[in-house]
Amino acid sequence: MFFAFDNKKVVLIFLNKDTTFSTCSYNDLFLSYLQNIINFMTLIKQLFGCFIKVYYLALTYYKNNKIQNIMNKFQLPDLPYPYEALEPYFDQETMTIHHHRHHQAYVDNLNKALDTTTENVELEGLLAQVSQYGPAIRNNAGGHYNHSLFWEILSPAPKIVPTGRLAKEIEATFGSLDELKIKIKNAGLGQFGSGWSWLYVKYNGALDVVATPNQDNPLMDTQLMSRGVPILGVDVWEHAYYLKYQNKRADYLDAFWSILDWSVVEKKYEETIGKLI
Ligand code: MN
């Protein structure tokens, strides 16, 4: 390799293997160096662009997946019996609309009201700290919980009187089963507008009856006086009875006892007492 100067340019002269010469000027070298840098930068740019695309795709997938999970977090439970099974006490049309439309709407609106701060909180957890959330969660988490419990305690083949520990506790607290039924009925009748009448277990283990407005229930921390775990609830919203009973809420409340399955209420009582001890 030789150096030569040609008109202020450095020229490199290479002796090739075949004894010919080839030359390369300083400017050529500079351009080739520059081209390499440009190529390298283009490569980096392409790699970076690729990385950004992959990152964005992964992020979108993660976000969609998360939103999908939240949107499907709560689901309408199946009724444990056909819609017509509780006839003639609760009619098929009311049961269909009540479960398939009203309860479904509570589930859908609850899922819509959830966000990433509530995604890991279970239903009872939402209710226990419901004062921290907006009305959409209070109404719809309450609506979902209350109706799920309501369907569960009804049956076309119910146990019509309680026995065992719950029966003894009812007698000790209210005097008799009939007295308890009157209390629950009166609480339901006395609830102005929409709401629920409950038999629930206080956190000291005692039984009590209370009515709550809208979709509230004794689990909610907005309940200042009557807090505890519901084991029996009657829906006194007009949508629960109006098609069959019109304005006769009392008749609907009387019919309720014919399809209330005390075996489920006993089970809930035992579970609740077991947790409190
Ligand atoms: Mn209802």
Ligand 1 centroid vs 36 CA: distance in angstroms? 74
DSSP readout, 198-264? EEEEETTS-EEEEEEETT--TTSTT-SS--EEEEEEEE-SGGGTHHHHTT-HHHHHHHHTTTB-HHH
Ligand 1 centroid vs 198 CA: distance in angstroms? 14
Ligand 1 centroid vs 221 CA: distance in angstroms? 21
What's the pLDDT at 32? 77
DSSP state at residue 121: -
What's the pLDDT at 145? 98
Ligand 1 centroid vs 236 CA: distance in angstroms? 7
Closest CA to 116 of 166, 60, 67, 74: 67
| pTM attached to this predicted model | 0.79
SS3 assignment, position 144:
helix
Ligand 1 centroid vs 97 CA: distance in angstroms? 10
Digit-coded pLDDT (tens) for 85-118:
999 999 999 999 999 999 999 999 999 999 888 8
Ligand 1 centroid vs 60 CA: distance in angstroms? 38
Digit-coded pLDDT (tens) for 1-42:
666 666 656 676 777 777 777 777 767 677 777 788 888 888
Separation between Cα atoms, residue 180 and residue 37, nearest integer Å: 88
Question: What is the arrangement of strands in the sheet containing 2-6, beginning at the earlier edge strand?
Answer: 2-6, 9-15, 21-25
Ligand 1 centroid vs 235 CA: distance in angstroms? 6
Ligand 1 centroid vs 84 CA: distance in angstroms? 17
Ligand 1 centroid vs 240 CA: distance in angstroms? 5
Angle between helices 164-174 and 262-276 (to 10 degrees): 80
Ligand 1 centroid vs 27 CA: distance in angstroms? 86
Angle between helices 104-113 and 135-153 (to 10 degrees): 140
**Do residues 245 and 227 touch, judged by C-beta distance below 8 A?**
no
Ligand 1 centroid vs 202 CA: distance in angstroms? 24
**Do residues 127 and 220 touch, judged by C-beta distance below 8 A?**
yes
Ligand 1 centroid vs 94 CA: distance in angstroms? 10
Q: Is 245 left (phi over 0), alpha (psi -120 to 50) or beta?
A: alpha
What's the pLDDT at 58? 79
List CB-based neighbours of ion ligand 1 within 5 Å: 235, 237, 240
DSSP state at residue 16: -
**Angle, alpha carbons 209-175-208 (nearest 5°):** 15
Helices within the chain (DSSP H only):
26-71, 92-97, 104-113, 123-128, 135-153, 164-174, 177-190, 242-245, 249-256, 262-276
What's the pLDDT at 26? 67
In the predicted model, residues of the chain with pLDDT beneath 50 are none
Ligand 1 centroid vs 239 CA: distance in angstroms? 6
**Do residues 161 and 242 touch, judged by C-beta distance below 8 A?**
no
Q: What is the CATH number of domain 86-276?
A: 3.55.40.20
Ligand 1 centroid vs 173 CA: distance in angstroms? 28
